[in-house]
Amino acid sequence: MARALITGVTGQDGAYLAALLLEKGYEVHGLLHRHGGAEAVQERLRRLGCTDAVRMVDGNLIDLSSLIRLLEKVKPDEVYNLAAQSFVRMSWDQPLLTTQVTAIGTANMLEAVRIAAPGVRYFQASSSEMFGRAETPAQNEDTLFHPRSPYASAKVFAHCLVQNYRDAFGLFGCNGIMFNHDSPLRGIEFVLRKITDGAARISLGLASELPMGNLEARRDFGHARDYVRAMWLMLQQDKADDYVVATGRAASIRDLCRIAFAHVGLDWEKHVKVDPAFLRPADVDVTVGDATRARTRLGWVPETSLEEMIAEMVEADLRRWRATLAA
């Protein structure tokens, strides 16, 4: 039985990845930072029906010694490093914490792998935010990085370090450059989940307005369930490499509002208001991915459309609020 270790198992991607690996017969271990709290762990994994199947193990990405002991104990075949302070806007308020967890945490994990598990297959969650204001219409694995936030800068460091360990030490390390991906498990602080939750609340009479930031920003949105499948596929190849994971379709925040509100029969323009408090200090106008390498080498294609994903998210938020009202 293959054995996997997932950092960030409490998050959206970690939960979907855990469910996928369990379905494939893996023994799944999830890194649990006790400070993170058990509620988030239970909630996301519970909603996917795999709470009891994931074996939680103690560790901390900023403590190298704990990671070495963890790898020696678990002896994983695959490591998926998904943990990060992943909210871009918050990285401006907490740049040092973001750097410590997202950049230095990755360095610690890579060094622990080099010392205690050099034969492991390693996946690093990179981000399309690394491209920043890219000079090409669609970004692929060769597009230059122009990070525009502390989060993106930390991700560039982590991405390049994986490449260095691959070249210098022969690590089977893959970077997955993940474009925006969401689901009903996404945190409320992320823009699409904020929109679907807002549409649900307004349709139920719980609110009348939804304050938003830049409505013109355009992003490439996919479903997390599709994207974790790409993560797994990367580690099944004969040779390690880096891959863009994206749909190739860009949608504006305005488009997301229109689709979500239309699902509940509302005109978004009557309810969405631009609030300067939600504008980023240095935003990116558009990011859209070119996932040709993933499509041709991995055979990966996204299976869920933007409209289907937004409908799934709105329906999940409606169920949650109706349950709250009925309680």
Residue 85 scores a pLDDT above 80: no
**Quick one: tokens of 324?**
């709250």
Q: What value does the mean pLDDT take over residues 130-147?
A: 91
Q: Is 26 a catalytic residue?
A: no
Around 38, how many Cα atoms within 13 Å sit in the side-chain half-sphere? 5
Residue 279 scores a pLDDT above 50: yes
What's the pLDDT score for residue 285? 75
In the chain, what are the domain boundaries? 3-181+222-245, 187-220+249-282+304-326
Q: What value does the mean pLDDT take over residues 296-319?
A: 98
pLDDT category at 94 given cuts 50, 70, 90 is: confident
Residue 289 scores a pLDDT above 60: yes
What DSSP line would sit under 73-123, residue for residue? HH--SEEEE--S---HHHHHH-HHHHIIIIIIHHHHHHHHHHHH-TT-EEE
Q: Which residue has the higher pLDDT, 283 or 242?
A: 242
Residues 12-66 pLDDT 10s: 999 999 999 999 999 999 998 755 445 555 789 999 999 899 999 999 999 999 9
Residue 284 scores a pLDDT above 70: no
Question: How confident is the prediction for the chain on average, in pLDDT?
Answer: 93
What's the pLDDT score for residue 26? 98
Residue 90 scores a pLDDT above 90: no
**Nearest to 321, CA basis, from 148, 208, 202:** 202
What's the pLDDT score for residue 184? 97
**Nearest to 47, CA basis, from 303, 318, 320, 305:** 320
**Quick one: tokens of 137?**
């219409």
The Cα-based distances of 198 to 25, 169, 204, 253, 313 in angstroms read 38, 48, 10, 13, 11
Q: Which of 79-93, 178-192, 202-216 has the lowest mean pLDDT?
A: 79-93
What's the pLDDT score for residue 135? 79
Choose the catalytic residue: 91, 126, 127, 153: 127
Q: Is 216 a catalytic residue?
A: no
What's the pLDDT score for residue 281? 63
Residue 121 main-chain phi, psi, to 5 deg = -100, 130
Residues 98-137 pLDDT 10s: 888 999 999 999 999 999 999 999 999 999 999 988 878 8
What's the pLDDT score for residue 192? 97
- Beta strand 55-58 with 78-81: parallel, antiparallel or unpaired? unpaired
Choose the catalytic residue: 16, 66, 128, 129: 129
**Quick one: tokens of 131?**
């491209």
Residue 86 scores a pLDDT above 70: no
For the domain made up of 187-220+249-282+304-326, give the CATH fold. UDP-galactose 4-epimerase; domain 1 (3.90.25)
Choose the catalytic residue: 16, 151, 165, 243: 151
What's the pLDDT score for residue 39? 53
Residue 233 main-chain phi, psi, to 5 deg = -60, -35
What's the pLDDT score for residue 282? 56
The Cα–Cα gap between 291 and 87 comes to 23
| CATH 3.40.50.620 given to domain 3-181+222-245 | no
Q: Is 151 a catalytic residue?
A: yes
> From its phi and psi, is residue 87 left (phi > 0), alpha (psi between -120 and 50) or beta?
beta
Q: Which residue has the higher pLDDT, 88 or 47?
A: 47
What's the pLDDT score for residue 34? 59
The Cα–Cα gap between 315 and 77 comes to 37
